[in-house]
Chains A and B, each alone.
Chain A
């Protein structure tokens, strides 16, 4: 069959576009509806995170980490405090560890709900998105109850937490989990198994494992490509080594391994695993304990550097901290997972139709706040 080639057109998707999840500009070359080349332009949300960090003390960095990935602020805090504790050799209580894990996993559920919902929204399904926001709202309620803030928490501090759990938190969390578990099945029936959704996402934007590793893609996107790689298992931090959970990987049920549907599916499965982790963490949570006990009076890490990775909902979140022995970081670099995930877009999405490119972009689950920092 002959292919008709028209004139090439350059089209700017963004910076103001409903499907770019923030302020991202994709300059695409199109041939009709087929997109032949994608050049992302970043930086519209650049807020000089790293430069700021060189001017504030180590405690004051934490509110800034919140604002990088505003959909998973707890995980951002978590990564930073783990890095600082590794650098300063601080050992924190079990209670603190498990509270942190509960918070991080709740945040993972919240973040994945939004990721999956927005993916559906990019494909035109509005209702699942709002159902997922509804449940995410309850997670935010739990966070608000704990630390008073709904989105930007500044909750985890080096060596401890800003607040202990309030009374009734455990009951509320368990109540939420009981309510939430059947809802996951409903999401899967309403969105994931819908034939139109499957047609739109299966076999689209296939990312083979080698490509994913070469491009530094991590987290659910890498696992969807069939690579069993989860820092919670492979380089355990905090108390994750004491918890029992599985790492879901993409297996190409509806199409090829590593397609957009697998990326959706891995996230849904991870939500289920997170529920499991939270239940275990609640069981293991010591009843008593001072969450401020291990907090150093003044944070002055020894001279040296550390690269520490944690598993944020979007993948390997790395902090490179160079300390010169003062209370102000000499250099602090955040290796953001969404940054590398966006880098792979041209490789996996060029050659597809316009609708597919935006679907693939949605399935990668990028947050521009974290990419641009």
Chain B
């Protein structure tokens, strides 16, 4: 027999869909089927059931092989590398719950670590821009209920946030938007004609890496000033047309992604995008929102915000918190040999950092806490498998619009497996023992 758990939260992307239905065995030990989720989300739930899953910590041996160790040994190893380091890096945090993030923060304080999350390779540059110019934004329901102009810039929700367009942005019918997509105009700016661009009214195929110039051109167009004939490969007539389409809306929303945060200009691209949004508020109502990737990267920034005052890249080494991307960010720290031990949790820098940074992790004392086997676990000295947050343990997560939602436990983890929170709590206890406090 089986039963269906409803209102389940999908722990994949920042869309944080909360209408998933999961069919589990009566004893809650097996997960059979997943409904309503996108292909990626469904896979995430189902992968927890993999037969070949690693369920015990393991340590890399001198000959390159793995040796299974106990959780106690893994806790001791983790505590020791953090205590012995002068400046450890504790990186990741985006695929775990706020409860684990809070304990990790305390560990960071106690050992004088630098804590950084995956925003560092995702929307960190957006956060820098927000610090420079602010951000007029809204919740996703405002988009659903009011928006009639939708601009996707450097993002491709058709692939990265598969249910975004149907739940929140292009298609839903809301309070003031009863006609759904037929009453909305959609603009996509992307150097490729992506699957998202295919559903747009206007696609501006921007020259790669020239987004900053194009944003600036929009602002010039709003003010009715003259533009050069082409900006970023786009003829000025098309820019004026798109600018007019935005100004004539009742509620404009701009979504942006890695296409602008990771291209030349980075924070400046976002700064200019936010300036475009500010400008639009002179004429109509406009908001802007980053398409956050990991389902709880936002939460990590919130937890550190209230504990330290900074959303990522927080250097706690001198007993107080400092922040300066370019110095306290994971890739700069690794590249510059600023850290002497690495703890990775709930993320995969091995796959998602430039390889020059990955090699630095390999050279340092390191531990990876992750349910999966990944390139990161491959290069770290110790791998600690844990329960899947949002599947095998609940906890708080923050959606891309900063709305906090409590994820649900739907199935039991394999016997004897720890959660992130339990493991970190034990590490903190062990650190305090080692420090004699």
Physical interaction between A and B: no
* B→A interface (CB under 8 Å): none
* A→B interface (CB under 8 Å): none
